Structure formats: C-alpha cells, structure tokens
Structure 1
Amino acid sequence: MRQNLRVAAYAVCVRDGQVLLARLSGSGPGEWTLPGGGMDHGEDPHATVVRELAEETGYRVEVSRLLGVDSQRVVGRRRFGRSADHHALRIVYEGRVAGGELRHEVGGSTDLAAWHALEAVPALTRVPLVDTGLALWRDRPADGRAASLSRGHGPYPGR
C-alpha cells in the first residue's frame, strides 16, 4: 500500500465577526476551507502560510500565533482503485490581514476567497478543517489539539 505524508499550514483569520475562507476548485460541491496549503520541500511552515494566503486570497497576512497541529490519517481506496495510506499533518496559525486586497486565485487549488459571518459557517459546505481551525481559535488549548470537537461541542459562536 502506498504511503503519503502531506504537511501543510493554514490560517484562521477572523475580523469583525467574520472568518476568511477559500473555496476548493475542481469537481465536487465547492467546499470551503481555511486558506493555506502544502509546504514546499525545505520551506518553513510560517513562510508556507504567508505564501499560501497571498496566493489564495491576495492578502498579506501577519501570523500572530500558533493555534495547534491537526493530524488526520485516511486509509482506503483512492483514484483508479489503488489503495493508499494518506497522512495529513496540518499546522494551524492565527493570522491577521496586514495588507493587500481580496482577490481570487486563478489556476490553483482554490477559485474563490470570501469573508463569512462566523454564525453562517455551520450552513456552508465545508471541509472538517474549518471546524477544527475555528475550535482551535476559540478554545486556544494549551496542547494545541481541538479536543472540543470530539466532545461534541461545535466551534461556534465566535469569540
């Protein structure tokens, strides 16, 4: 079975009761995610999140805090019927928009960036990382784990 490790960095950017999200492009329902993405070989995670936010949203972001690390493993059938053991390690930061103008990524992994009211997020079609990131932002756990999600608490309302 093929093993794959992907390390990525994402940011939770909240201002005025809204969170910045990016919509995944390609086939499917157009799920919303936290802006961010995969690290390049040799790249620092902090540099990754700054670069990815600029690519996906047009904003220059200042990283204000490490919120936590999320680890997800998915074992099963992938495209073309092949088996795979995929491990996603996601570093989640808190970010603050420091400049730039909102724009959409062209030809990348996302096709739209937008601010969403925190109370409207539960109604969005979104990947689980959004809930994890918002739980980390809300709870600020000392161990950097979004344990509140496993206890059945949602990441809302916002702080």
Structure 2
Amino acid sequence: MRRNVRVAAYAVCVRDGRILLARWTGAGGPRRWTLPGGGMEHGEDPYGTVVREVEEETGYQVEPVALLGVESARRVIPRRGWRRSAVDHQAVRVMYEVRITGGELRSEVDGSTDLAAWHKLSSVGLLTRVPYVDTALRLWRDRPPTGRAMGSP
C-alpha cells in the first residue's frame, strides 16, 4: 500500500462572534465548510502557507497571532481501477489563530473552494463541515498548552 503525508496550515479567524470559513468543493463529493488554508508547497513554512492560502481563498491578508495546535489524522483512501492500490494517507494540520490586516472578502476562482463567508459561532454546528473545523474551534476556545484538542486520538 502506498503511503502519503500531507502537511497543511489552516486559519482560525474569529471576529465579532463569527468565524471565517470557506466552502470546499471536494473531489466530486458534497461541498463542506472548512477553515481557510491548505497544503504546504515544497520549501514553504507553515506560517507562510496559512498567509498565502487565506488570501487565495478569501481575499483577506492576515497575520498569524498564535499557534493553536497541530492535528494529525490518518485514513486509508481506496483506489479503483487497474494497477491502482489504496493509499495510507496521513494529514498533519497546523492551526493558527489569525487576524485580518487588509483585503476584502471575496471567493476563490478556479480553486478548491468556491465561497468564503462569515458564520456565527453559535450556528457552526448546523453547517455541513469538515471535522477539523470542530477541532480548531476546541483549540481556539480551550488553548491547551500541548496544542492538542481534548478528544483527539
């Protein structure tokens, strides 16, 4: 089985009781709300990744103000077709609290997300979202000294 590790950096941007989210279009699956952010490019620092990705997906320039934590998740991704084997995939997500320093809200064009929007913190639980949105909010609220959200494996 092939192995894959993907390191990504994500932004937790909360302002006036609302969180900034981007709608992920996924690989043909249902659209789900996610944190602005994404995969590191080779040679890139996670700090630079989150700044770049937030601007690409939301139009905002941001400054990371705190490292909230790191989440790691692993799953097997089945592959179909001739000579294609499953992939043992590990995602390492670096979560930063960020503040907006400039720009204007806009949606990404021709990317992995199609809409950027502010959502009330109280209504996040009603959204169709990726699981690490909840992890990031726990890190943001609890500020664990280890950078690991309670309930994480």
The reply to whether TM is greater than 0.5 is yes
Partner of 1:91: 94
Residue 16 of structure 1 pairs with residue 19 of structure 2:
no
- Code of the residue aligned with 2:44 in structure 1: it is E
SS at match of 2:53: helix
1:83 CA displacement: 1.1
Q: Identity of paired residues, percent? A: 67
The more displaced of 18-27 and 125-134 is 18-27
1:30 CA displacement: 1.0
Aligned CA RMSD, in angstroms, stands at: 1.5
Hey, which of these two has a bigger chunk of helix by percent? 1
Aligned residue pairs total 150
SS at match of 1:141: coil
The verdict on how the C-alpha distance between 1:114 and 1:79 changes in structure 2, with shifts beyond 3 A counting, is farther
The verdict on how the C-alpha distance between 1:79 and 1:15 changes in structure 2, with shifts beyond 3 A counting, is farther
TM-score, scaled relative to structure 2: 0.93
TM-score, scaled relative to structure 1: 0.90
Residues in 2 aligned to 1:37 and 1:79: alpha-carbon distance in whole angstroms: 26
Residue 58 of structure 1 pairs with residue 63 of structure 2:
no
| Moved beyond 6 Å, runs of 4+ | none
CA deviation profile, 1:73-119 (whole Å, cap 9, x unmatched) = 11242454631100000000000111100000011110000000000
- Code of the residue aligned with 1:86 in structure 2: it is H
The correspondence for 1:121, drawn from 88, 100, 124, is 124
Residues 4-153 of structure 1 mapped to structure 2, 5 A cutoff: 4-26=4-26, 27-78=28-79, 80=81, 82-147=85-150, 149=151
Residues in 2 aligned to 1:67 and 1:78: alpha-carbon distance in whole angstroms: 34
User: Structure 2: 5+ residue runs without aligned partners?
Assistant: none
User: Structure 1: 5+ residue runs without aligned partners?
Assistant: 151-159
Residues in 2 aligned to 1:137 and 1:78: alpha-carbon distance in whole angstroms: 35
Residues in 2 aligned to 1:90 and 1:3: alpha-carbon distance in whole angstroms: 17
- Code of the residue aligned with 1:135 in structure 2: it is R
1:72 CA displacement: 0.4
SS at match of 1:134: helix
